[in-house]
Amino acid sequence: MAKFIFITGGVVSSLGKGIACASIGKLLESRGLKVTFIKCDPYINVDPGTMNPYQHGEVYVTDDGAETDLDLGHYERFTNAKLTKDNNITTGKIYYSVICKERRGDYLGKTVQIIPHITDEIKNRIKKVTYSKKVDVVIVEIGGTVGDIEGSPFLEAIRQLKFELGKNCALNIHLTLVPYIKSAGEIKTKPTQHSVGALREIGIMPDILLCRTEKKLRKEEKAKIALFCNVDIESVIPALDAKSIYEVPLLLSREGLDSLIVKMLNLQCVKLDLSIWNERVIKKLKYQDREVKIAVVGKYIILQDAYKSIYEALNHAAIYNGAKLVIKRVDSEDIEKNGVKKYFKDVKGVLIPGGFGSRGIEGKIKAVEFARENKIPFLGICLGMHTAVIEFARNVCGLKHAHSTEINKHTKYPVISLLEEQKKIKTKGATMRLGAYDCRLLKNTFAYSAYNKEKISERHRHRYEFNNAYQKIMEKSGMIFSGINPEKLVEIIEIQNHPWFVACQFHPEFKSKPDNPHVLFRDYIAAALSLTKEKK
């Protein structure tokens, strides 16, 4: 039977609960256990697919086409867990299914209530991830902070579940902040005491406290937290700020976290083996002796989380290539205002990520033009591919004002147009072309040399595609269609006579891992670095 770890957060948000869960998963997996994850998000949207990145950050897409919380990205990057739509639960999903059941008459005669109907639905969905696959440990992250009104049904559900599962079958881990107050020169434990107090009020007793702190915790401070929060001193685990998120599993292990979990859950497992992670990631983090500066041109540039997987994938590739990544975030609207040169003087690569709508689009097209003409390595993703195609059509093929029908419905040259299957779709939620699709690669291309195989599968999230009516004219002018889907959709384009210029319809960033960077990102950064060498 699978065991469960429930992780809640206290004091403030953004303490890195997702990274903590992913790190715990990594540690348990490195002890030979099979782990999976669930993220519970207390908002009423059924999924984050309809939210603006400024509201929510990136929407992470799984192989089965679920639009999910970005924490699932952390879980997949740190571990081998294969996540699906079942691994992200939202209040919206829970209520939607309970209300459908009510309308169907499944609860005939009863008053449908938060307890037990909503909480039962949550419990059933948490348990469901253990049915089909063999799993040893399920790590369940409760989004938000203890005390949030909307989070309470989830907290009540995990309280009940732990009770029902019985001894040694479930653990509560509470991630909290232990701030250092500079002016007083002291570490403060009171916020943690309050946060644990709030948990106790609803019947949850934390078994382990993960204390985010910038200073080392002394024995006395640990003892104080233990005494007032009712946990053993060995269960007060400091989670010190790390230089890289990928060091967190090691730091937590050094504090004894994995041994403690194994003991408390009575898990049968082997000794911790992090050798591959150490070799491929941690050691390499120490030898980043050169820099690679990449311009990411988008419109959600201010928010760190909007292009999370892209930044991580770039970082993985930089680590692999022995370089330190410097990201220059460029707002494409600024390019429209101030011209492109100013922003790209010192960059070794240009990347245009996915996106929606017309704001800043001309700035992105200018960025593509600059990268193409100045032979700067270029990677375009989804909308980034669309802008690459539009730029080529306009400036190389002479198709003046060519555009995507997403931006201009009446363009004379619709080089990007709505997917056939999308034409009849009227609703917005989960209706894009989503998830994994196959693609065949053409030999002797950048794409083929990266993947080194003919058949690949990548994840998608879009409604518009390359318009095949323009394939011939573009090909004549030097565009290469290096990846084509079995249904004839263009998945990858590249151009000749350029050090590295690739754009793809899919999102390679979702499959990159720190110890196994995505091959497109790997080769892109390698190209950017060789440009650095040439220019020296």
CB of 384 to ligand GLN, least distance (A): 7
CB of 492 to ligand GLN, least distance (A): 15
* Closer to ligand GLN by Cβ: residue 101 or 463: 463
State the Rg of the chain over Cα: 25
CB of 45 to ligand GLN, least distance (A): 18
The DSSP result for 303-370, as a single string, is -TTTTHHHHHHHHHHHHHTTEEEEEEEEEHHHHHHH-SHHHHTT-SEEEE----SSTTHHHHHHHHHH
Tell me how far apart the alpha carbons of residues 502 and 72 are, in angstroms, rounded to a whole number. 27
Candidates 203-211, 248-256, 462-470, 481-489: pick the segment binding ligand GLN (CB under 6 A).
462-470
Number of residue whose CB is nearest ligand GLN? 354
Reference 196, options 213, 216, 223, 177; nearest CA is: 177
If one counts every other C-beta atom within 10 angstroms of the C-beta of residue 407, the result is 18
**416 forms bridges with which residues in the sheet?**
404, 466
* Closer to ligand GLN by Cβ: residue 103 or 426: 426
Position 382 contacts ligand GLN (CB under 6 A) = yes
CB of 317 to ligand GLN, least distance (A): 20
* Amino acid at site 18: G
Distance set, CA 463 to CA 151, 158, 297, 389 (Å): 33, 38, 21, 16
- Residue 382 is among the residues annotated as catalytic for this protein: yes
Considering 156, 504, 509, 518, which one is annotated as catalytic? 509
Q: What are phi and psi of 439, to 5 degrees?
A: -155, 140
* Closer to ligand GLN by Cβ: residue 179 or 354: 354
Candidates 176-184, 238-246, 338-346, 352-360: pick the segment binding ligand GLN (CB under 6 A).
352-360
Q: Which residues contact 116 (CB under 8 A, 6 or more apart)?
A: none
* Closer to ligand GLN by Cβ: residue 217 or 382: 382
Selected binder of ligand GLN within 336, 356, 395, 516 (CB under 6 A): 356
CB of 168 to ligand GLN, least distance (A): 44
Selected binder of ligand GLN within 464, 500, 501, 510 (CB under 6 A): 464
CB of 31 to ligand GLN, least distance (A): 37
Position 383 contacts ligand GLN (CB under 6 A) = yes
The DSSP result for 11-56, as a single string, is SSS-S-HHHHHHHHHHHHHTTT--EEEEEEE-SSSSSGGGS-HHHH
Phi-psi region of 200 (alpha: psi -120 to 50; beta: other; left: phi over 0): alpha
CB of 446 to ligand GLN, least distance (A): 20
Reference 234, options 215, 216, 209; nearest CA is: 209
What secondary structure, in 3-state letters, does 379-407 show?
EEECHHHHHHHHHHHHHCCCCCCCEECCC
Candidates 82-90, 353-361, 362-370, 391-399: pick the segment binding ligand GLN (CB under 6 A).
353-361
Reference 308, options 68, 36, 491; nearest CA is: 68
CB of 129 to ligand GLN, least distance (A): 27
Q: What is the DSSP letter of 412?
A: S
Q: How many binding residues for ligand GLN (CB under 6 A)?
A: 10
Candidates 161-169, 286-294, 312-320, 456-464: pick the segment binding ligand GLN (CB under 6 A).
456-464
Q: Can you say how many angstroms the Cα of residue 326 is from the centroid of all Cα atoms in its chain?
A: 19
If one counts every other C-beta atom within 10 angstroms of the C-beta of residue 365, the result is 25
Selected binder of ligand GLN within 9, 144, 153, 355 (CB under 6 A): 355
CB of 55 to ligand GLN, least distance (A): 16
Selected binder of ligand GLN within 462, 498, 518, 522 (CB under 6 A): 462
Candidates 7-15, 270-278, 303-311, 455-463: pick the segment binding ligand GLN (CB under 6 A).
455-463
Helix (H, G, I), strand (E, B) or coil at 512: coil
Candidates 127-135, 162-170, 439-447, 460-468: pick the segment binding ligand GLN (CB under 6 A).
460-468
Position 369 contacts ligand GLN (CB under 6 A) = no
* Closer to ligand GLN by Cβ: residue 35 or 502: 502
Distance set, CA 500 to CA 158, 395, 431, 466, 531 (Å): 50, 19, 33, 20, 10
* Amino acid at site 149: I
Do residues 260 and 237 make contact, with C-beta atoms less than 8 angstroms apart?
Answer: yes
- Residue 509 is among the residues annotated as catalytic for this protein: yes
Reference 226, options 185, 174, 148, 166; nearest CA is: 174
Considering 382, 397, 439, 504, which one is annotated as catalytic? 382
Position 458 contacts ligand GLN (CB under 6 A) = no
Position 463 contacts ligand GLN (CB under 6 A) = yes
Position 61 contacts ligand GLN (CB under 6 A) = no
Q: Name the token pair of 371.
A: 């990268």
Query: Contact letters (x/-) for ligand GLN, 476-515, by CB under 6 A?
Result: ----------------------------------------
Tell me how far apart the alpha carbons of residues 31 and 414 are, in angstroms, rounded to a whole number. 54
Position 354 contacts ligand GLN (CB under 6 A) = yes
Position 461 contacts ligand GLN (CB under 6 A) = yes
CB of 209 to ligand GLN, least distance (A): 39
Candidates 35-43, 153-161, 167-175, 351-359: pick the segment binding ligand GLN (CB under 6 A).
351-359
Query: Contact letters (x/-) for ligand GLN, 390-429, by CB under 6 A?
Result: ----------------x-----------------------
Q: Name the token pair of 415.
A: 């080089």
**Residues of this chain that bind ligand GLN (CB under 6 A):** 354-356, 382-383, 406, 461-464
Residues forming the active site: 382, 507, 509
